[in-house]
Amino acid sequence: MNKSIIILLIVLIAVSMLFLGSFVQANTANNGVNTNDIINDETKSQLVDLRDSELQSMEDYKQAYGSDVTGVVAYVLNKIRLWSIPLGFVAIAISAIYQYVIGIKHLENRDKGLNSMIVVVTLFVICQILPLIYTIIIKFRG
């Protein structure tokens, strides 16, 4: 337990030093140009473009499903489907670490790793299949 807390603190310190170093470097190496205005303008334009594309995508779902409610639900389910892929792989990797690395010395963690891997794979499959089931039900219903 103490080793895991120490490792977590070391990782947090390393990550914060990395972000702090890049922040200081970005603010000091500008040759007298105020980059806050440039970065903010570029960031604003990128955020506006992202928002417009997502709103257009949501409008496409609303038109495809014929209702605002069903279109928004289909859009959200599609986003859940897309985000479940990387999150599922990360969770499977963490479960595998618990089962095969930490579980060698502590058998209760081995069972924890196996059980969490079963849960993660089940949720992953549900997140991948749920939009398809929703589409089939909505299309055949109406």
Query: What digits encode the pLDDT tens for the residues 51-95?
Result: 999 999 999 999 988 889 999 999 999 999 999 999 999 999 999
Q: For the chain, how far is it from start to end, CA to CA, in angstroms?
A: 55
pLDDT digits (tens, 9 = 90+) for 11-44: 667 666 666 655 555 555 555 555 555 667 778 8
Q: Nearest CA to 92 among 109, 76, 115?
A: 115
Give the whole-angstrom CA distance, residue 19 versus residue 11: 12
pTM metric for this prediction: 0.64
